[in-house]
Homo-oligomer: A and B are copies of this chain.
């Protein structure tokens, strides 16, 4: 924290300004040890000459006026001014230009500045993102890079480690390292400058924007040649946080309820309150189920109550299946009853423009300490408790992946996909309007939920980007977090805006920050679903060496393409290992990597090479390319792979094995068999098995589970 900066900001505020002047910007930089060019403010032509002489020629001259933000446009900038006479003439010229540009502008003088340049031109800045708050940006400077948008973002404040990583995170990173004979940039100076900008905006949240552009970085230092600092018009709002133990206390009651009430339960088929009742009963929920309906004494064989207040025992969860208009009173009653969770299925709130109605129920819930899921959701599933509190259909393939969706349509796609692929699921949760419970709360629960080993989330926005990042950073150490962020593109983001009323952040900011937090981002819906299905059944790789073993050379080429596309490393096979593989394959097969065992080989060739791949400790993951032949039919291949993988796992050889099966339709059954036996396998695609392996690697690296 700096008293000088405090004073400068207060002065600007007092004068009703949101932009600092250049000299003020320089003082702020001085206070944070951000190097700027030697300079001074000249108030006369003589003074300018004096300053220029002391700084050294050539210099840059710039108008200083609180009323002129776009100096170049105003004819207020002269560069490369090389002599005393030129400085004198330039001073007069600039003042005249500024007066012509805006006759009423208050002119403080002309800034005389050390002429910098040479080395690398970069941009360092900070913005206030609506989702993530203070965010630091770094990119190469110049017109070209502005067009190519080669820039990276991180949350402020940040560490040395983070700021150094930013230097390598742009496409043109090689240039800063001195590619093609250029001098390398001073990485320490640049990363320090990034860090300090981060510290500045973290210390003074009222700073909305910082632009150091250009910064010139030579082999020995970095200088911010131009500084622009903008203050926010309003004071930033703190996002309220609920303590972790409070979240968990409620979430554990919501996911492990002893009793569930269905408000609006109905005996009439087709009603939502009927579907919810049926799903709870048919799904096999073993706790108490209390139908609430003033007009019935019994629903689906269970005694019904006119109000939740009339239920004799304690209730953990109330599922709402009544029109929006009746929700406030019913929620009030549920709150008084002491429920932990309100599952708010009804629509007709913020998504239809009824923002006040939503705010009303949020306040009721908050008053009673009730956590509310929704409104405008399909409900939620939690298979370890046989809990199907939804109006969809029961789901019973238990497993380790928890999925959430912000949209009901996407929730239905999750359900259909899960059912058809028999994906093992712990939970499927709709978050809808996210008026209360959001992804952070759910992550907090899934983090400590032993039934969940992997989390996949569809989201269009985040209410509290920093809260999400903190939760993710805790969870990913143990469990992958897959995110499908919708509204990735400018057009998509616009559609998100019209859908949820929430402003979707710029995607590059989301992308960098989520990746840095350790999220495995899915490029599309189907990718999210396939990652969710595959990641939990793959062991964590213990290193980067991927080996392709293929019966079809053609598949080998495509699998290699896919490995490169997914950031995987095709192992350079050492000579002894190459020889060991060659012993199993025909002389015209190709060892190396891919290992082409050639078509027409018997099961033993697949078995021998697979076993060698699983046992040799230098290999960390296997990609199999199968080619349907009479000699090794699909199910023979599937059974042998499942058997060998199981045998080697029993011996402690845990490695991810993924397979691409090329063949006639029998390969589909073979893939199902393999999936059921812990081997990820897909027919008619070389891309998918490698994409899911790539996702597993991205998580393992982010979680710090990869040696080296």
Q: Which residue of B lies closest to A630 (CB)?
A: B270
Known: A409-B553, A420-B668, A588-B351. A686 touches B147 (CB 8 A): no
Q: Per-residue 0/1 for A478-513: is the Cβ within 8 Å of any B Cβ (1 yes, 0 no)?
A: 000000101111111011101110000000000000
Residue A564 is within 8 A (CB to CB) of chain B in the complex: yes
Residue A248, interface by CB 8 Å? no
* A467 close to chain B: CB less than 8 A: no
Contact of A409 among B406, B487, B554, B590 (CB under 8 A): B554
A627's closest neighbor in chain B, by CB? Answer: B409
In the complex, A556 Cα to B562 Cα: how many Å? 29
Contacting chain B: which of A357-365, A436-444, A592-600?
A: A592-600
Asked if A486 contacts B270 (CB within 8 A), the reply is: no
Contact B143 A525 (CB under 8 A): no
Q: List the B residue with the shortest CB-CB distance to A415.
A: B664
> Are A684 and B564 in contact, with the CB atoms below 8 A?
no
- A148 at interface by CB-CB < 8 Å: yes
A688-B526 Cα distance, complex, nearest whole Å: 9
Q: Which of B270, B407, B600, B667 contacts A416, CB < 8 Å?
A: B667
B-side contacts of A588, CB under 8 Å = 351-353
Residues A557 and B496 in contact, CB atoms below 8 Å apart: yes
A85 to chain B, nearest CB (A): 21
Q: Which of A484, A494, A570, A662 has the most CB of B within 10 A?
A: A662
Query: CB distance A409 to B625 under 8 Å?
Result: yes
Q: Residue A111 at the B interface, CB < 8 A?
A: no
From 344 to 371 in chain A, residues with beta carbon under 8 angstroms from any chain B beta carbon are 347, 351-353
Q: With A and B bound together, what is the CA distance between A491 and B568 in angstroms? A: 11
By the criterion CB–CB under 8 Å, are B663 and A558 in contact? no
Range class of the A interface residue count: 35 or more
**Once the chains are docked, how many angstroms separate the CA of A351 from the CA of B588?**
8
Q: Is the CB of B554 within 8 A of A407?
A: yes
- Return the chain B residue nearest A488 by Cβ: B561
Rounded to whole angstroms, the CA-CA distance of A172 and B558 in the bound complex is 30
| CB-defined contacts of A314 to chain B, threshold 8 Å | none
Whole-angstrom CA separation of A491 from B410 in the bound complex:
36
Select A683's contact among B144, B146, B181, B416, beta carbons within 8 Å: B416
Interface check A563, CB cutoff 8 A: yes
A555, CB-defined interface residue at 8 Å: yes
Return the contact of A564 from the options B491, B500, B630, B668 (Cβ within 8 A).
B491
User: Whose C-beta in chain B lies nearest to the C-beta of A555?
Assistant: B409
A583 to chain B, nearest CB (A): 18
- Tell me if A174 is interfacial: C-beta within 8 Å of chain B: yes
With both chains docked as a complex, state the minimum distance between the C-beta of A11 and any C-beta of chain B, in angstroms: 33
Measured between beta carbons, the chain B residues less than 8 angstroms from A563 are 491
Bound-state CA distance A408–B600 (Å) is: 11
Q: Which of B175, B498, B524, B599 contacts A562 (CB 8 A)?
A: B524
A417's nearest neighbour on chain B, judged by CB, is B684
Q: Let me know if B684 and A525 touch, CB within 8 A.
A: yes
Cα distance A596–B181 when bound, in Å? 55
Taking a contact as CB atoms closer than 8 A, the residue among B148, B413, B494, B683 that contacts A172 in the complex is B148
Complex interface: chain B residues within 8 A of A375 (CB): none
| Min CB–CB distance A490 → chain B (angstroms) | 7
Across the interface, which residues of B come within 8 angstroms of A209, CB to CB? none
Does A608 sit within 8 A of B, measured CB to CB? Answer: no
Residues in B whose Cβ lies below 8 Å from that of A175: 143-144, 147
A171, CB-defined interface residue at 8 Å = yes
Report which of B270, B352, B419 forms a contact with A664, defined as CB distance below 8 A: B419
Contact with B along A95-119 (1 / 0, CB 8 A): 0000000000000000000000000
> Residue-by-residue, is A49-67 near B (CB-CB < 8 Å gives 1, otherwise 0)?
0000000000000000000
With both beta carbons as reference points, the residue of chain B lying nearest to A599 in the complex is identified as: B408
**Does residue A264 face the partner (Cβ distance < 8 Å to B)?**
no
0/1 interface trace, chain A 651-678, chain B, CB 8 Å (1 if under): 0000000000011111110000000000
User: Is A613 part of the contact surface with B, judged by Cβ < 8 Å?
Assistant: no
- List the B side residues contacting A144 at CB < 8 Å: 140, 142, 144-145, 172, 175
Tell me the chain A residues, 282-336 only, with Cβ under 8 Å from chain B: none
In the assembled complex, the CB of A696 is this many whole angstroms from the nearest CB of chain B, namely 19
How far, in angstroms, from A157 to B628 measured CA to CA in the complex?
Answer: 45
Q: How far is the CB of A484 from chain B (nearest CB, A)?
A: 8
Contact A554 B406 (CB under 8 A): yes
Residue of B nearest to A684 (CB): B417
Cβ of A392 within 8 Å of any chain B Cβ, yes or no, is: yes
Q: A175-B147, A420-B665, A561-B489 are in contact. Are A460 and B499 (CB under 8 A)?
A: no
B residues less than 8 Å from A550 (CB atoms): 409
Q: Are B353 and A494 in contact (CB under 8 A)?
A: no
Q: Taking CB as reference atom, which chain B residue is nearest A629?
A: B412
* Inter-subunit contact B489/A179 (CB<8 Å): no
Q: Does A134 contact B (CB under 8 A)?
A: no
Given contacts A147-B180, A525-B685, A599-B408, contact A499 B556 (CB under 8 A): yes
Asked if A582 is an interface residue, CB under 8 A from chain B, the answer is: no
**Chain A residues numbered 567-608 whose CB sits less than 8 Å from any CB in chain B:** 570, 586, 588, 590, 592, 594, 596, 599-600
Q: Which residues of B contact A416 (CB under 8 A)?
A: 628, 662-668, 683-684
**B405 and A487 contact, CB distance less than 8 A:** no
**Interchain CA distance A525-B488 in the complex, whole Å:** 25
The residues of A with any CB-CB pair to B shorter than 8 Å are 140, 142-148, 150, 171-172, 174-175, 179-182, 270, 347, 351-353, 392-393, 405-410, 412-413, 415-417, 419-420, 458, 460, 484, 486-492, 494-496, 498-500, 523-527, 529, 550-558, 560-565, 570, 586, 588, 590, 592, 594, 596, 599-600, 625, 627-628, 630, 662-668, 683-688
Q: Can you list 18 pairs linking A and B with CB atoms under 8 Å apart?
A: A140-B144, A143-B179, A347-B599, A353-B588, A392-B664, A393-B664, A405-B554, A407-B553, A407-B555, A412-B662, A416-B662, A419-B665, A420-B684, A487-B560, A489-B565, A499-B590, A500-B553, A524-B558
Q: Which 10 residue pairs across A and B have the least CB separation, nearest first?
A: A407-B554, A409-B552, A352-B588, A492-B561, A489-B564, A413-B662, A524-B687, A526-B685, A409-B627, A499-B553
